[in-house]
Structure 1
Amino acid sequence: MGGSVLVGLDGTGNSEPAVRWGAEEAAFRNLPLHLLHSWVSQPWSVSLVPEDADRRRYGTEVLRRAEATARDLHPGIPVKVEQVAEEAADALAERSGECTLLVLGSRGHDSIAGFLLGSVSLRVLGRAKCPVVTVREEESSVGPGPEIVVGVQETGTEADAVLDYAFTTASVHHARLHAVRARTTATAVGTDAARPQGEAESTTAEREALSASLAPWREKFPDVRVIEEVLDGRAVPSLLSACARAGLLVIGRRTQRTPLPLGPAVLAVLHHSRCPVAVVPRT
């Protein structure tokens, strides 16, 4: 399956759920776990410490606790710890090209500034070359559980990276996969009332497009139970509704976006989703 499962640690409360999630993924995928901490990107209270040696000692302790957590959960997995003297976002983005999955912790739903405005997580999400899972600090589960939701708005090869990750993860965890496609109705965008016949034809076309996108992946992963659903409405509300009881939401992001690397839909899902979110760069 490729490289390791990489977990970025800042030493705050949001690190432990990310470590547990990363250890679970490493064990299920039979991959090594790589724990990384940047001593030059430590939390504000720690970064005020004037001595570099003290900050390095703090980083060593962060990694020691994280490794102990991972080994307690899955004693047999190989674990690598790394403390770096470069910015966390740069280090994680650089190493993402060599790993299968990157896991990041994020603050809770009430801390908008900590997650949405210039955080390390956002900068990594926009540059990572592999799927990135964000796990909030209040998350108690490890792994996606019985159901994974995947958003399928693109067709053809544009959807391949997202569906590859979603099907692989569902297969590894023996989870069902709920594939969701949003259909924006005339009413939803504020136009005149839609003609019933036109609405029916549009729904049929969207269902056919969704089925066509999933067909080769169903064949490749016959063990994965798939639920296909076309929902009326915009993409973000549809996905958030579908994942209300899921353990993981999988979405794609466009690469080479400028000046903002993440689009408004991705940002909205990251902020409002009640479950961990996997953001997959489209190739």
Structure 2
Amino acid sequence: MGGAVLVGLDGTGNSEPAVRWGAEEAAVRNLPLHLLHSWTSQPWSVSSGAEDAELRRYGTEVLRRAEATAKELHPGIPVKAEQVDEEAADALAERGREAALLVLGSRGHDSIAGFLMGSVSLRVLGRAECPVITVREEESSVGPGPEIVVGVTSEGVAAGDAVLGYAFTTAAAHGACLHVVRARTPSSALRTVTARPQDGAEGTASEQELLSAGLAPWREKFPDVQVIEEVVSGRAVPALLGACSRAGLLIIGRRTQRMPMPLGPSVLAVLHHSHCPVAVVPRR
């Protein structure tokens, strides 16, 4: 995984957990850390009535504090601090093309208002070409901990897509167990050569075999990663939220060609309800 770990800072309290998480990712992956702040996209409470020079000074202080936090946690990592006058979502999406990973703070999703306030994050998530981790402002951890959950589809497993690649790489970097979850609904049940739907235990067993076969090359490539395979009957969002109740990171994929809404309802629901940081990986 090349590039830097890019962290977007808006100058509010939700930036510090993102900085801590980004510094940890940079350290375990042996990558530089890139801190970015847009002085033209500061919160309303900061920017209302302020002069440009004052906004720039505020942005400089935001970056200074963030760099100090990162170096306190991991003194050896290279840190680049950048202040831009571009709109935040544009700057992050553009620099994310060269980044290995992008980390964003989240104000929390306890209400619809709080969710919609993260409009910059939502726009970046829909445009980013690298994996994006959203970290809530109340998050106290600085890494995924002992278990990571990744949600996969049967098509994704068969293709060995970017989601599993990122999940195994992340689990290996952190020494975490990887819990792979495949949700099985009636509409997604496998069919036999005679096109007869397979229901119940028979269908679940078939999907379990498909999941195991799809994961076999990844297990061989990452032999030190402990893997838990699970096929869950039901819809994907409840299955993933239930599986990650004790996990430190949930990894999901998104379609890059999805228009007019770049983030589908399942991705939005997971971002809204997950109690742990969420990594959204674009599928090529």
The TM tier, using the shorter chain, reads over 0.9
CA–CA separation in structure 1 for the residues paired with 2:161 and 2:141? 28
Residue 255 of structure 1 corresponds to: 256
Q: CA RMSD in A?
A: 1.7
TM-score by length of 2: 0.93
Deviations 1:193-219 (A, max 9, x none): xxxx83122111110121122111111
**Cα distance, 1:185 vs. partner?**
4.2
Q: Equivalent residue for 1:125?
A: 125
Deviation by residue 1:95-136 (Cα, 9 ceiling, x = unmatched): 111010000000123243233366100000000000000000
Match in the other structure for 1:86:
86
Query: Letter of the aligned partner of 2:75 in structure 1?
Result: P
Task: Kindly state the Cα deviation for residue 153 of structure 1 after the two structures are TM-superposed.
Answer: 1.2
1:158/1:113 CA distance change after superposition, 3 Å: farther
AA partner of residue 209 (structure 2): E
Task: Read off the aligned partner of 2:260 and give its amino acid letter.
Answer: P
Relative to structure 1, the CA distance from residue 157 to residue 4 in structure 2 (aligned partners, 3 Å threshold; closer, same or farther) is farther
- Partner Cα separation in structure 2 for residue 161 and residue 30 of structure 1: 20
Q: What secondary structure, in the 3-state scheme, does the structure 2 residue paired with 1:40 have? A: helix
Indicate the residue corresponding to 1:140 in structure 2.
Answer: 140
**Distance across 2 between alignment mates of 1:159 and 1:278:** 18
Give the corresponding residue for 2:105. Answer: 105
The 1:244–1:168 alpha-carbon spacing in structure 2 relative to 1, beyond 3 Å, is: same
Contact 1:252 1:281 in 2 (8 A): yes
8 Å Cα contact 2:251/2:278 also seen in 1: yes
* 1:203 matched to 2:195: no
Hey, what's the Cα distance between the residues in 1 that align with 2:246 and 2:135? 16
| One-letter code aligned to 2:149 | V
8 Å Cα contact 1:185-1:199 kept in structure 2? no
- What are structure 2's unaligned runs of at least 5 residues? 188-197
For residue 233 of structure 1, what is the aligned residue in structure 2? 234
Shift of 1:49: 3.0
How does the TM-score come out when normalised to structure 1?
0.94
CA distance in 1, matches of 2:160, 2:47: 41
2: CA distance between counterparts of 1:88 and 1:251? Answer: 24
Matches of 2:237 and 2:177 in 1, distance apart?
Answer: 21
**What is the aligned partner in structure 1 of residue 192 from structure 2?**
none
8 Å contact kept, 1:49–1:55: no
Kindly provide the CA deviation profile for residues 2-26 of structure 1, in whole angstroms up to 9, marking residues without a partner as x. Answer: 0000000001010000000000000
SS in 1 for 2:122: helix
Q: Which amino acid aligns with 1:63?
A: L
Residue 191 of structure 1 is matched in structure 2 by none
State the match for 2:4 in structure 1.
4
How far has the Cα of 1:46 moved from its partner? 1.3
Cα distance in 2 for residues equivalent to 1:277 and 1:205: 29
Structure 1: 5+ residue stretches without partners: 187-196
3-state DSSP class of the match of 1:109?
Answer: coil
1:74 alignment counterpart = 74
